[in-house]
Amino acid sequence: MNIEQLISDLFYIKPEIAVAVTLVVIVVVDLIMGKNKKALPFISLVGLLIAGILVVQQFGTAKFVFKTSINSSLMAIDNFGSYFKIIVVVSSIFIVFFSLSSAEIKSTYARHGEYYSLIFGMILGMFFMVSAADLILIYLSMELLSLSSYVLAGFVKNSIRNSEASLKYVIYGGVSSGIMLFGISIIFGLTGSTNLYEINSLIQAQSFPSITLLLAGLFIIVGFGFKISAAPFHFWTPDVYEGAPIPITAFLSVASKAAGFAVLIRFIKVVFVDSVDVNGFWHLINVIDWKSIIILLSILTMTLGNFAALWQDNLKRMLAYSSIAHAGYMLLGVAVLSNEGIIAIMIYFIVYLFMNLGAFFVVMLVANEIGSEEIDDYKGLGRSIPLLGVALAIFLISLVGLPPTAGFIAKVALFIALIDANMIVVLVITILNTVVSVYYYIRILRNLYLVKVDEERPMLRINFLNKVFVLFLAVPLIVFGIYFTPIIDFAKYSLNILGL
């Protein structure tokens, strides 16, 4: 590999460079401006926009960059990666807005320089994750993401909740990534490579002891499962989501999860699939029964998420479980092992981005005002927050998956994939889960509108900008629910995982 090659390859990671540069700029500006942190969010937004534009420009590119040998390289730039980068960028933009209104984050005004730079650390980690084609790069980028998020989860230092969340997160994450690294080392020992594509051709060519491979695979899944909070690797999720500041919770639940899914899909697709047939179904190499494993995990995940959510009284915690349940639904898209399943996941993520962020945003605004996230404190609140209430209803309905919201389209896409793969029993389980989920989502609406309270609750003052912002999240759900051609087209267009 020569230096020209390296420089021309740098050209392909312009978005990552943009993010890194922004990070540096934020640090520098923070140092220069001293106590005035007002510029930081705007710099962040500009950086994100530039990164976003660069990602968009990259659509259509399909190239391996940073070759380490003749047939292996560190990164694979493809539409699939770009798609998830877009999701990351969009959710990051929303998170910056979140942070602007969050009372928790506002209380740490003096450390906003760190805050935004850590956010960009996370973004950078995610960008590399979704494009990584090498296990070591996957590990490193995941660690970058994790280290930044450990700090952010405990960002409000004097909050006990924050600190506890952050400690649990770091221990849990450290162990998970350690186990994953051990798994990677076993793979390395077996194949002599850490490149996904090389590993693929090697396990196709020769046979390895399957128990060892399975062990390594499961160890690696521990790491991925930690990121996407799939059962039984989800245990950190409720505690950390509840403890962390709301913007960070929201960010973890969407962006971090998206990156985790992207890398999981790429891992399985690139390493363990030998061919894709004309109907878009993947054929696994006969070493590990990923299909069964993932079906098992996904059913466990959604069932656990939904049933545990029934019992929650803290809205944030409930949303944590709900996000576990949604991870379960999305895992089904992986489990069908078909292009259609991937499309379903991609559609699901766009919709999920809006509805989940929206729900968290409303929770945050209400928490800012009433200082509580308890579901019981929402009683009779519907008339105090007319617009937010309606918006929250839309988000929740979309989370349930009822028409005419986009959540319905996401679910239908998933069901279509399941039916096409003849997984009827799984479908029925999923649907029963959906019905169960109605119960806890509707409970919030019930508290908002149906419950009679003795004293009239005062109107909450919600900033005009925040109202507009809520609409930004809510309206797309209705629009995409009725006219979903664009998201399907977009997902379909992005369905190009570099490889076989």
State which of residues 36, 60, 489, 500 lies at the interface with another protein (CB under 8 A): 489
Residues 329-348 that bind another protein (CB under 8 A): 339-340
Q: How deeply is 63 buried, as exposed, middle or buried, from its count of CB atoms within 10 A (0-12, 13-18, 19+)?
A: middle
Residue of 218, 285, 370, 478 that binds another protein (CB under 8 A) = 218
Q: By C-beta, is 160 or 205 nearer to another protein?
A: 160
> What is the Cα–Cα distance from 349 to 351, expressed in whole angstroms?
5
Q: Please, what's the b/e burial string for 335-346 (b: 16 or more CB within 10 A of its CB; e: otherwise)? A: bbbbbbbbbbbb
- Restricting to residues 59-98, name those near another protein by CB under 8 A: none
User: Closer CB to another protein, residue 101 or residue 253?
Assistant: 253
Task: For residues 400 and 410, give the distance between their C-alpha atoms in angstroms, rounded to a whole number.
Answer: 11
Q: Does 188 bind another protein (CB under 8 A)?
A: yes
The residue among 43 and 390 lying less far from another protein, judged by its C-beta, is 390
Q: How many helices (H) and strands (E) would you count in the chain? A: 21, 4
Q: Which of residues 399-428 bind another protein (CB under 8 A)?
A: 402-404, 408, 412, 415-416, 419-420, 422, 424, 427-428
User: At a CB cut-off of 8 Å and minimum separation 6, what does 73 contact?
Assistant: 64, 65, 66, 67, 133, 134, 195
Q: Can you say whether the dihedral through the CA atoms of 109, 154, 313, 395 is positive or negative?
A: positive
Contact with another protein (CB under 8 A): which of 239, 274, 374, 377? 239
> Which pair of tokens denotes residue 490?
């977009």
A 10 A CB-CB count for 2 gives 7
Residue 84: exposure state from Cβ atoms within 10 A (0-12, 13-18, ≥19):
buried
- Please say which residue, 247 or 481, places its beta carbon nearer to another protein: 481
State the minimum distance, in angstroms, from the CB of residue 165 to another protein: 6
Query: What's the closest the beta carbon of residue 50 comes to another protein, in angstroms?
Result: 27
Cβ distance to another protein smaller for residue 57 or 69: 69
Binding letters toward another protein, positions 157-186, x by CB under 8 A = xx-xx-xxxxxx-xxx-xxx-xx-xx-xxx
Nearest distance in Å: CB 116, another protein: 17
Nearest to 97 by CA among 241, 246, 231, 279: 246
Judged by CB under 8 A, the chain residues 375 through 394 that form the site for another protein are 383, 393
243 binds another protein (CB under 8 A): yes
- DSSP reduced 3-state for 137: helix
Told to check if 211 binds another protein by CB under 8 A, we report yes
Closer Cβ to another protein, 91 or 306, answer by number: 306
Query: CB under 8 Å to 128, separation ≥6 — which residues?
Result: 16, 75, 137, 140, 141, 144
How near is the Cβ of 178 to another protein at its closest, in Å?
3
C-alpha to C-alpha distance for 292 and 11, rounded to whole angstroms: 40
Binding residue for another protein, selected from 86, 264, 304, 363, defined by CB under 8 A: 304
Does position 140 interact with another protein (CB under 8 A)? The reply is yes
In the complex with another protein, the residue whose CB is nearer, 22 or 405, is 405
The H-or-E segment that residue 304 falls in is helix 290-309
Residue-wise DSSP of 192-212: S--BHHHHHHHHHHS---HHH
What track of x and - describes contact with another protein for positions 432 through 451 (by CB under 8 A)?
A: x-xxx-xx--xx--x--xxx
CA distance 448 to 451: 7
Tell me which stretch binds another protein (CB under 8 A): 259-267, 291-299, 347-355, 364-372: 291-299
Q: Which of 56, 207, 232, 425 binds another protein (CB under 8 A)?
A: 232
Task: State how far the Cα of 174 lies from the Cα of 180, in Å rounded to an integer.
Answer: 10
Nearest-10 crossing angle of helices 160-191, 210-228: 150
Contacts for 438-445: CB closer than 8 Å, 24+ residues apart: 438/400, 439/310, 440/306, 440/309, 440/310, 440/312, 440/318, 440/322, 441/322, 441/396, 441/397, 441/399, 441/400, 442/396, 442/400, 443/375, 444/315, 444/375, 444/378, 444/392, 444/396, 445/392, 445/393, 445/396
Stretch that binds another protein, among 91-99, 196-204, 212-220, 354-362 (CB under 8 A): 212-220
Among 33, 49, 310, 475, the residue binding another protein under the rule CB under 8 A is 310
**Nearest residue (CB) to another protein, 236 versus 360:** 236
- Interaction with another protein in 258-277: which residues (CB under 8 A)? 277
CB nearer another protein, residue 11 or residue 483: 483
* Of positions 303, 322, 356, 466, contacts another protein by CB under 8 A: 303
Considering only residues 32 to 51 of the shown chain, the ones binding another protein according to CB under 8 A are none
Task: Give the nearest distance from C-beta 233 to another protein in angstroms.
Answer: 6
Q: Which is nearer to another protein, 54 or 331 (CB)?
A: 331
Q: Residues 293, 426, 460, 479: which binds another protein (CB under 8 A)?
A: 293
Q: Which of 151, 258, 327, 337 binds another protein (CB under 8 A)?
A: 151
Q: Is 279 in the site for another protein (CB under 8 A)?
A: yes
DSSP state of 459: P
Instruction: CB nearer to another protein: give 10 or 313.
Output: 313
Q: 305, 321 in Cβ contact below 8 A?
A: yes
